[in-house]
Chains A and B, each alone.
Chain A
Amino acid sequence: NAGVTQTPKFQVLKTGQSMTLQCAQDMNHEYMSWYRQDPGMGLRLIHYSVGAGITDQGEVPNGYNVSRSTTEDFPLRLLSAAPSQTSVYFCASSPAGANTGELFFGEGSRLTVL
């Protein structure tokens, strides 16, 4: 199984540009989420989804949009990139109702905004 797949792995943007980070999972998980990780820090939740058509904000949602049109995909959009959005982004998924806190993370997308 591929698990959680993120693309691209690396991206450099100029301030003001827009882009979409892609995330796909093949485990039929209901829950998906996006986190960002800044140097020397833990991950912080940006947005999450508990199922197709349902999204909600996490701790640091400003500057990011998400949508969940299918169970498999959960893209993260940056409408106007800012240097403060330079970070490593992780997508995660998990089954609903699971009796553990285990999230399955992708390998990450490293974004640099100049």
Chain B
Amino acid sequence: GESVGLHLPTLSVQEGDNSIINCAYSNSASDYFIWYKQESGKGPQFIIDIRSNMDKRQGQRVTVLLNKTVKHLSLQIAATQPGDSAVYFCAENQGAQKLVFGQGTRLTINP
């Protein structure tokens, strides 16, 4: 069964605001998570990853937070831009590059 799931299927934010996309997982032994972005008509694109020995990891305008106590992770996008419109997936890496994806959150940017 599904080991990762997203909280909201859609999220709408104003341009320039921060976006927070949430994801929960069920297996407390899971130790490696990845966020992907999928634009319409394209394949998923890697954004950022985090391992269970970390609580937070930052990239360019993105931050991933991992709370192992409640089995929750989030992707924060700072100063959201129109180009951030996409579907965002969290995924668990189960080794040998095998990924288990959540259902995705569609992020819509309002001007």
Mask: chain A, 22-35; 1 = CB below 8 Å from B; 0 = not: 00000000010101
Q: Which residues of B contact A31 (CB under 8 A)?
A: 96-97
B93 CB-CB contact with A under 8 Å = yes
Residues on B with C-beta less than 8 A from A59 are 100
Indicate whether B101 reaches chain A with its CB closer than 8 angstroms: yes
66-111 of chain B: CB within 8 A of chain A: 89, 91, 93, 96-104
By the criterion of a CB under 8 Å from any partner CB, how many residues of chain A are at the interface?
A: 26
| A31-B96, A31-B97, A43-B101 as given contacts; A101 in contact with B34, CB under 8 Å | yes
- Chain B residues whose C-beta falls within 8 Å of the C-beta of A58 in the assembled complex: 98
Counting CB contacts under 8 A, is A12 at the interface?
Answer: no
Interface residues in chain A, defined as those with a beta carbon under 8 Å from any beta carbon in chain B: 4, 31, 33, 35, 40-45, 48, 50, 58-59, 90, 92, 94, 100-108
